[in-house]
Amino acid sequence: MSEINIKKINKYYGSNHIIKDVSLDIKSQSFTVLVGPSGCGKSTILRMIAGLEDINSGTIAIDGTVVNDLAPKQRNIAMVFQSYALYPHMTVFNNMAFGLKLEKRSKDEIEERVHEAAKILQIEDYLQRKPKQLSGGQRQRVAIGRAITRKPKVFLFDEPLSNLDAALRVQMRVELAKLHDQLDATMIYVTHDQTEAMTMADEIVVLDQGIISQSGGPMQLYNNPSNLFVGGFIGSPKMNFINTKILSSNSKGTKVDLFGSSDIVIPKTSKTSSSGDQVTLGVRPEHLLVNKKSSSSWESKVFVVEKLGSGTFLYLEKEGEPLVVETEGDSKIKVGDSVKVGFDPDKCHLFDSSNNSFT
């Protein structure tokens, strides 16, 4: 059992207000992912939970105990740093045993726990090596091993996979997910890679400039982003945004202008918007239909074609608005072709002038 309750924490660096009134409840044994663009304060929040950074106001409680004034070692947490932060002069074994030695565990117990962790992470063969004799992925596993030997209540990961190549990243992602199942610990994971967030999280917390933009399950954030920022941040490639305005609205939906030439009714409403307001229409590349029959469609010219094998991304332009469209992998469309693009109004999002989502 180890839930974490964060209440209205604030952090200033000098006069810069970095974390603004953030409140967050993290369930015991959950896998929570903090995402957000660079500099939004993800690491800072993690470091405040770890006790490496002072909290200017508000409280952080682990398992019901307020830990604001506890030293890192009293919080029963482990942290994996982006730079690995291994002890360079110690062997892999000693790196993993350091914390246990400080806890004055018996030699046998240390042996046993280190080997157990090494086995899970498949680094048993490297135990006598120094960190500099390991590859990046191996180092990363040692860093994780160092965290798990101590059997903490809470694991904190700060972009642990960002230094790895794509293949290794996928592999480690799976291993971390397995580890979470095996260890029954609460894990908080920081990343700016939204694929990692989507695939690993029980709960995603999207941060934007020191405030929580939205939190919820991966599919909830994908299907119902509560604002423009989350809509644009979750999903890859990004959601397409088209600036438009409301033509009319009723309780069933909102009718908006489409490139001045046609219109479309989106089955979403907002109490604060009315006819004539500027709004943003959001639709994901995978929800745009190419050369298929749909209620509203238009012609566009293709500028760039990106073939990924499993799918093809087409970069288009319509009335000055750039659009990305996903279509099937064996598509024959070439640069310069004109395609017919349409979409399903059910899969569209509308954001008002203060960037909040229609519901």
Ligand X SMILES: Nc1ncnc2c1ncn2[C@@H]1O[C@H](COP(=O)(O)OP(=O)(O)OP(=O)(O)O)[C@@H](O)[C@H]1O
Q: Which of 87, 217, 335, 353 binds another protein (CB under 8 A)?
A: 87
Task: Please state the three-class secondary structure of the chain as a single string.
Answer: CCCEEEEEEEEEECCEEEEEEEEEEECCCCEEEEECCCCCCHHHHHHHHHCCCCCCEEEEEECCEECCCCCHHHHCEEEECCCCCCCCCCCHHHHHHHHHHHCCCCHHHHHHHHHHHHHHHCCHHHCCCCHHHCCHHHHHHHHHHHHHHCCCCEEEEECCCCCCCHHHHHHHHHHHHHHHHHHCCEEEEEECCHHHHHHHCCEEEEEECCEEEEEECHHHHHHCCCEHHHHHHCCCCCCEEEEEEEEEECCCCEEEEECCCEEEEECCCCCCCCCCCEEEEEECHHHEEECCCCCEEEEEEEEEEEECCCEEEEEEEECCEEEEEEEECCCCCCCCCEEEEEECHHHCEEECCCCEECC
Q: Is 119 in the site for another protein (CB under 8 A)?
A: no
Q: Is 13 in the site for ligand X (CB under 6 A)?
A: yes
Q: Which does 81 bind (CB under 5 to 8 A by kind): Mg ion, another protein, ligand X, none?
A: another protein
Cβ 85 to another protein shortest distance, Å: 4
Nearer of residues 43 and 215 to Mg ion, judged by Cβ: 43
Cβ 238 to ligand X shortest distance, Å: 18
Q: Which does 285 bind (CB under 5 to 8 A by kind): ligand X, another protein, Mg ion, none?
A: none
Q: Is 44 in the site for Mg ion (CB under 5 A)?
A: no
Nearer of residues 79 and 207 to another protein, judged by Cβ: 79
Q: Which stretch binds ligand X (CB under 6 A): 42-50, 57-65, 72-80, 116-124?
A: 42-50
Q: Which stretch binds ligand X (CB under 6 A): 39-47, 212-220, 236-244, 263-271?
A: 39-47
Nearer of residues 73 and 307 to another protein, judged by Cβ: 73
Q: Which of 32, 43, 138, 280 binds Mg ion (CB under 5 A)?
A: 43
Q: Which stretch binds another protein (CB under 8 A): 7-15, 79-87, 213-221, 261-269?
A: 79-87
Q: Is 117 in the site for another protein (CB under 8 A)?
A: no
Report the alpha-carbon distance of residue 350 to residue 230 in Å, rounded: 13
Before 225, cis peptide (omega within 30)? no
Question: Do the bridges between strand 288-290 and strand 338-343 make them parallel or antiparallel, or are there none, so unpaired?
Answer: antiparallel
Cβ 183 to another protein shortest distance, Å: 17
Q: Is 18 in the site for ligand X (CB under 6 A)?
A: yes
Nearer of residues 2 and 43 to Mg ion, judged by Cβ: 43
Q: Is 12 in the site for ligand X (CB under 6 A)?
A: no
Q: Which of 86, 148, 164, 197 binds another protein (CB under 8 A)?
A: 86
Q: Is 38 in the site for ligand X (CB under 6 A)?
A: yes
Q: Which stretch binds another protein (CB under 8 A): 7-15, 23-31, 80-88, 176-184?
A: 80-88
Nearest to 61 by CA among 16, 11, 103, 2: 2
Give the Cα-Cα-Cα angle 191, 193, 199 (nearest 5 degrees): 95
- Per-residue contact string for residues 290-329; x = within reach of ligand X by CB under 6 A: ----------------------------------------
Nearer of residues 83 and 272 to another protein, judged by Cβ: 83
Cβ 3 to ligand X shortest distance, Å: 23
Residues 4 and 162 sit within 8 Å (Cβ to Cβ): no
Q: What residues are paired with 326 via a beta bridge?
A: 313
Taking each helix axis from N to C terminus, what angle separates 166-183 and 107-121, rounded to the nearest 10 degrees?
A: 130
Give the interface size with Mg ion as a residue count (CB under 5 A).
1
Q: Which residues of the chain form contacts with Mg ion (CB under 5 A)?
A: 43
Q: Which residues of the chain form contacts with ligand X (CB under 6 A)?
A: 13, 18, 36, 38-44, 192
Q: Which residues of the chain form contacts with another protein (CB under 8 A)?
A: 50-52, 71-73, 77-79, 81-83, 85-90, 98-99, 102-103, 146, 150
